[in-house]
Amino acid sequence: MRFLGLWRLLLLSLLHSPLLVCCSDAGKQDNPRLQLSHTDLRLRNNSAVFWDAGEGGAYQALLLDEDRGWLLVGARDHIYMLNSDSLKQPARKIHWPAGQEHIERCKYAGKNLSVDCANYVRLLQPFNKTHVYVCGTGAFHPQCTYIDLGHNLEKPTFRLLNHVGESGRGKCPFSPQERFTARLTDGDLYAGTSVDFMGTNAAIFRTSVHSSNQHYMRSEAYQDHWLNEPEFVGSYSIPDTHSLDDDKVYFFFKETAVESNQLDKRIYSRVARVCKNDIGGKRSLINRWSTFLKARLVCSVPEPGGMDTHFDELEDIFLLETKDPQNPVIYGVFSTSSSVFRGSAVCVYSMASIRASFNGPFAHKESPDYRWMEYKGKIPYPRPGTCPSETYDALHKSTRDFPDDVVSFMRNHQLMWEPVMPIHRHPVFTRIHTPYRLKKLVVDRVDAEDGQYDENFKTEEIVLEELHVFKTQSPILSMELSTKRQVLFVSSEENVVQLPVQRCELYGKACVDCCLARDPYCAWDGSSCTNYFPSNKRRARRQDVRYGDPWSQCQDMREGSEHAELKTVYGVETNTTFLECVPRSSQATVKWIFQPNLSQNSKELIAGEENLIHMQRGLLLQHLASANAGLYLCVAFEHSFSRTLARYELHIIPENQMSRAQNNHPGNHAASTLSFKELHLIGAGGLTADEYCEHFWYREKRRQQKLRSLKWKQVTENRKARVRRQNPPNEPLGGGETADFS
């Protein structure tokens, strides 16, 4: 069952991906359908709420509590508590500055007093029912403590336990700029960060939070094959089997690749993991991970001839939970480090492919003069990377019981030979030759009648085109999605913004716009494009929208182009005139149709024709001549659908008749009666809106069915293969993967 669940989700996310769904005209399709500026967002009611009432800015950390309705914001020297229903509600705040002696030391060490020597709150993690764990840079002297929220859910306490101050080394970076990751789970904090002033000693750490227990674990320092100038992106605790002994923490980061050619320094993205019950070795690897493995995460576009385009730099990672806690779906947004072109891509990974890499061959380097190769020698038992578990082997209760050959193998073999490939071996979304990089990603699951859609929000200055959230082009520092409230919280240096994920009304007032948007958040209710909540009641309505009668309510399409009012325009011979026409959707292609007079056929005006200039906002006619007189239609094409956006009747006034022009009444209104149908047939597919929609949904349904049967076949085959491999055979299907004793 879990495969089926996974598949439905992914399949639909692929169908929904603009790049793969529909695109013969990929370049155009890649654009977001809606482009809103910062001003648009500010002006439109309910589109966005901006909160900028904080004192120090630098809103780096967000923590959302859906049930209790608050959003904690970690900032410079402050922690704020906002109301997640509306950022307009007053905020509460805690002042938490760095110690004066640390500020002094920070300054004397040559750091920039105004930029670096403050307490940047960078970590907020739920600790228990009443407390949140919080860490800040403390002016290059990281510190951690707790925020007490109390038991009263309506009115939380919101108080800092100042007296508990704990060292933040190995939990939070020294620098406000360094990228890091940390995850608090079962009382332990797992972090990928540096532990020194210079930021050169980076490692994956585990420190105990609640107890006086001083035990810690880390990756070996200054050893390239463990970690090589890593930049951490994310970390998650993911169970591997039904046994708690097999629980692991996964890290996502990028680093300088040791295995690539030494001469050209390449960055690769990685997924790494450690066992939660790893306590290091007994004689060697003391306080060092003895189960640390890593593999390359590949996100590339296959090209004929094997010269794939690689997106090597992981920018953000998002874990989409499924019903099966062992198998969340991993979304990564990557950019390219190529000097030739800039671009970004989103790739999706299954846990199965990640586990397969960790269960596969190890990478090996004989000595400094050799190249990295696949390790073909004997692999010790228990297989390195396996978590110790009494249930598997009574001899190995903990990692300290591992035989010496396992521990010494683990000292040199962290890297797996096989990379992790994305689902379908292809990104689900790419954007290339853009002046920006995608930096952040949030994936929401939208329950729809026939499965689940994935809504990818791709953001940053990316916001750039889709939503210019911020006035200045400041990068997004953090994002939190509230599925309950259907809003996205986005933070930057200067603001926290609350954005509804549903902006259906912005798609326009026409049924067909609603349909063409194909936004799973929106549905046509008969009179407007409205928000769609995945409740049963609305679900029925949505279904109607797809297959039933309501499309006949797309009257604006049926009745033709009457709503594009005929405008009469006068131009003076040899002068210039401009016919405005701005499509609502940026995915639409605009064409101009010209009909000189009734007795003549209409023709499309091609760009570059004599005195005509096609501009983004309309048609510019220079040096007007009498031959320019006639009917002009601005038609927008999107998919196989077309419609008239504007109609102009242009009259040319001879230069020498200028004085009489105003009385010269134009009679030829008949020209405007060119019917919508006729115009329509000019379009490629010649489909009406409802035909288009029906056609579209039908096609997708068929494709789904096809893929479903295909996938079933694959799943069954996988299972057979696995059952064959599996030993002992009574191991449940979900297990086994990590406990590979081969």
Ligand X SMILES: *[C@@H]1O[C@H](CO)[C@@H](O)[C@H](O)[C@H]1NC(C)=O
* Cβ proximity to ligand X, 151 vs 433, nearer residue: 151
Interface residue with ligand X among 338, 597, 664, 673 (CB under 6 A) is 597
The answer to whether 143 and 166 are in contact (CB under 8 A) is yes
Complex with ligand X: residue 576 or 714, whichever CB lies closer:
576
Neighbours of 389 (CB within 10 A): 21
Least Å from the CB of residue 528 to ligand X = 14
Residue 636 beta carbon to ligand X: minimum distance, rounded to whole angstroms: 24
Q: What is the dihedral of CA 260, 261, 262, 266, to 10 degrees?
A: -50
Sequence-distant (≥ 6) Cβ neighbours of residue 700 within 8 angstroms: 15
Residues 6+ away with beta carbon under 8 Å from 630:
594, 595, 596, 597, 649, 650, 671
Taking a C-beta distance cutoff of 8 angstroms, is the pair 248, 387 a contact?
A: yes
CB of 131 to ligand X, least distance (A): 4
| Residue 574 near residue 657, CB atoms below 8 Å | no
- Helices 689-725/536-547 angle, 10° precision: 120
Rounded to an integer, what distance in angstroms lies between the CA atom of residue 79 and that of residue 491? 14
Which listed residue (338, 600, 657, 675) binds ligand X by CB under 6 A? Answer: 600
Going residue by residue from 519 to 548, which x/- string records binding to ligand X, judged by CB under 6 A? ------------------------------
CB nearer to ligand X: give 45 or 742: 45
Span from 5-13, 427-435, 529-537, 595-603 in contact with ligand X (CB under 6 A)? 595-603
Q: Which tokens sit at 232?
A: 């951490």
Q: Is 572 in the site for ligand X (CB under 6 A)?
A: yes
Q: Which is nearer to ligand X, 134 or 351 (CB)?
A: 134
Between residues 174 and 402, which has the closer beta carbon with respect to ligand X? 174
The only residue of 27, 67, 110, 114 in contact with ligand X, by rule CB under 6 A: 114
The closest of 243, 290, 276, 292 to 400, measured between CA atoms, is 290
The answer to whether 273 and 204 are in contact (CB under 8 A) is no
- Choose the stretch contacting ligand X; rule: CB under 6 A; options: 196-204, 218-226, 333-341, 597-605: 597-605
Q: How far is the CB of 44 from ligand X (least distance, A)?
A: 6
Rounded to the nearest 5°, which phi and psi values hold at 432?
A: -125, 165
Residue 379 or 506 having the CB closest to ligand X: 506
User: Using the rule CB under 6 A, is 594 a contact of ligand X?
Assistant: no
Could you say which of 473, 575, 718, 727 contacts ligand X (CB under 6 A)?
575
Angle between helices 2-16 and 689-725 (to 10 degrees): 140
CB of 645 to ligand X, least distance (A): 22
Q: Does 599 bind ligand X (CB under 6 A)?
A: yes
Least spacing, CB of residue 116 vs ligand X, in Å:
8
Instruction: Report whether 277 contacts 399 (CB < 8 A).
Output: yes
- Quick count: other Cβ atoms within 10 Å of Cβ 397? 13
What is the chain's Cα-based Rg?
30
CB of 432 to ligand X, least distance (A): 32
Whichever of 15 and 624 has its CB closer to ligand X, that residue is 624
Residue 506 near ligand X by CB under 6 A = no
> Least distance to ligand X from the beta carbon of 602, Å?
12
The nearer residue to ligand X, 148 or 393, going by C-beta atoms, is 148
Q: Which of residues 251-310 bind ligand X (CB under 6 A)?
A: none
Six token digits for residue 600: 């003549």
Going by DSSP bridges, is the β-strand pair 577-580/589-595 parallel, antiparallel, or unpaired?
Answer: unpaired
Nearer to ligand X, 540 or 598 (CB): 598
Query: Whose Cβ is closer to ligand X: residue 128's or residue 262's?
Result: 128
Residue from 146, 158, 190, 362 touching ligand X (CB under 6 A): that is: 146
User: x/- site string to ligand X, residues 119 to 138, per CB under 6 A?
Assistant: --------xxxxx-------
Counting residues that bind ligand X (by CB under 6 A) gives 19
- Residue 449 CA to residue 281 CA, distance in Å, equals 52
**What letters, b where the CB count within 10 A reaches 16 and e where it falls short, cover 585-620?**
bebbebbbbbbbeeeeebeebeeeeeebeeeeebbe
Taking CA atoms, 481 is separated from 442, 484, 488, 489, 538, in Å, by 7, 9, 4, 6, 22
Least Å from the CB of residue 469 to ligand X: 18
Least spacing, CB of residue 66 vs ligand X, in Å: 19
Q: Does 45 bind ligand X (CB under 6 A)?
A: yes
Under the criterion CB under 6 A, does residue 115 sit at the interface with ligand X?
yes
CB of 20 or CB of 506, closer to ligand X: 506
Of 41-49, 74-82, 335-343, 528-536: span binding ligand X (CB under 6 A): 41-49
Residue closer to ligand X by CB (options 473, 597) is 597
Q: How many residues does the structure list for the chain? A: 742
The per-residue b/e assignment along 525-564, b for 16 or more CB within 10 angstroms, e otherwise, is beebbbbbebeeebbebbebbbeeebbebbebbeebbeeb
CB nearer to ligand X: pick between 199 and 686 = 199
Segment near ligand X (CB under 6 A), from 14-22, 89-97, 109-117, 235-243? 109-117
CB of 596 to ligand X, least distance (A): 5
Residues with Cβ within 8 Å of residue 482, at least 6 apart in sequence = 64, 66, 84, 488, 489
According to CB under 6 A, which residues from 167 to 226 bind ligand X?
210
Which candidate, 139, 169, 417, places its Cα nearest to that of 294?
417
Binding-site member from 4, 37, 39, 44 for ligand X (CB under 6 A)? 44
Q: Which listed range, 37-45, 215-223, 338-346, 586-594, lies at the site for ligand X (CB under 6 A)?
A: 37-45
Whichever of 543 and 577 has its CB closer to ligand X, that residue is 577
Residue type, 171: K
Complex with ligand X: residue 131 or 248, whichever CB lies closer: 131
For residues 234 and 440, give the distance between their C-alpha atoms in angstroms, rounded to a whole number: 12
Return residues touching ligand X (CB under 6 A). Answer: 43-45, 112, 114-115, 127-131, 146, 210, 572, 575, 596-597, 599-600
